[in-house]
Amino acid sequence: MTTVNLAFGEVGHELKYCEERIDATVLLPADLPPLSDQHGAFITAVRNPIGCAPLAEMARSSLAKARQESRTPKIVIVTADHTRPVPDHLLVPWLVEELGVSDDAVTILIGTGTHRGSTPHELRKMLGVAAERFNVVNHHCEAPDLVFLGRSSCGGECWLNRLWVEADLRIATGFIEPHFYAGFSGGSKAVVPGISGLRTVQHFHRSSLIADPHATWGEVEDNPLQRLSREMVALCPPDFIVNVTLNRAKEITGIFAGGSVPAHDAGCAAVLHEASIPVLETFPVVVTTNSGYPLDQNFYQTVKGISAAARIVAPGGTILCISRCNAGLPDEGEFKDLLSDPRPSNELHDAIKASEVTRHDQWQVQTLLQCLEKARIILHSELPEAKRQITRTEHTDDPSATLHELANAAPESKLRVAIMPLGPLTIPTLQE
């Protein structure tokens, strides 16, 4: 028996298979060593930024008006929520130290998008002592005081959090990883959809964009979602961003600081080089994960790992996904309601594509349905039985046994299987 450790929650899952029956190919992104001096690398990055003036210099200019008016400056730092492993417990204190401002000048705005707000426990885990030092606010996409800033070239309304719009200095942190819609996370996505109104998020995720072949893993230049996010964010952009890349242990391997677009582009190029893996042909079976904690806490996020596997599964094949989902589906938004629609998956998919109305969380259901049209999906999770029935997938309590059942049912003597231990952190690319 051969054992492969898969990312699952915070402890992992051991997948075992017999090499006599299974011909496995393990696909893993590069695992770079951590920066030897993370704080030193941060200082170098913010004092020698990409595409803009150094942070301290920019801050002096941006905060001059507040000083002239003898008031405490308003500095807003947008961070990711509890579903992302951004090391903001390090980045936020370092940013404030470099700015040289008092703690009461700083508000940390949690970029929840349409997710629920992060709990006090989650905030302490995400931010460390920064959760107590600074004013922390969860963004709410349906707050009554969002600010309308204008329309995109394709007609979408841009509504953003008022704290961000009225700040004297706007900073965004982020983690650059492969993303199934926008090519990569980080960059402008901290703002749109991170701190946007629901109407803006719905326009950003409308079905025609989700269905666009360029709205996919690893694409930036021709990606309509990345283009739309950047266009809307330009209406009220960050003065400065600090994006990081991480290794498998969630340690910082690179820091990309500066202007929102050029710094993000530089980070995306680095991640593409690390995460892209050429694949010569599709596989009848692909085993995937949702990269473990914190991304595999619910089934909504787990669609990302399934989507990554769908890139290289053979039509009519099987995706075996191992994702903890200990927090459920989740129940907020319309994700659960859409999944519970009584129509067959193909009919629901057609209805979503035909509708001119974008329902809350529709985009995640649409992606799942796209994957279901290509392959059978079997999920190993901690979902209770009642919620398993809603996912439109099959389920297994023993992934290793299920893998061997698939091998025994295969016509060939050895079943070809791709194993993606880190799921969506990998960009398997089928070569022409």
Active site residues: 115, 179
The residue count for the chain: 432
Q: How far is 334 from 313, CA to CA, in rounded Å? A: 29
Strands 313-322 and 375-380: parallel
Instruction: Please choose, from the candidates 83, 113, 82, 141, the residue with its C-alpha nearest in 3D space to the C-alpha of residue 291.
Output: 83
If phi over 0 gives left and psi between -120 and 50 gives alpha, with beta otherwise, what is residue 100? left
Residue 420 β-bridge partners: 288
Instruction: Please choose, from the candidates 1, 133, 15, 100, the residue with its C-alpha nearest in 3D space to the C-alpha of residue 421.
Output: 15
Burial of 71 (0-12, 13-18, 19+ CB in 10 A): exposed
Maximum separation of any 2 CA atoms in the chain, in Å? 78
Strands 240-246 and 169-175: parallel
Q: How far is 123 from 193, CA to CA, in rounded Å? A: 20
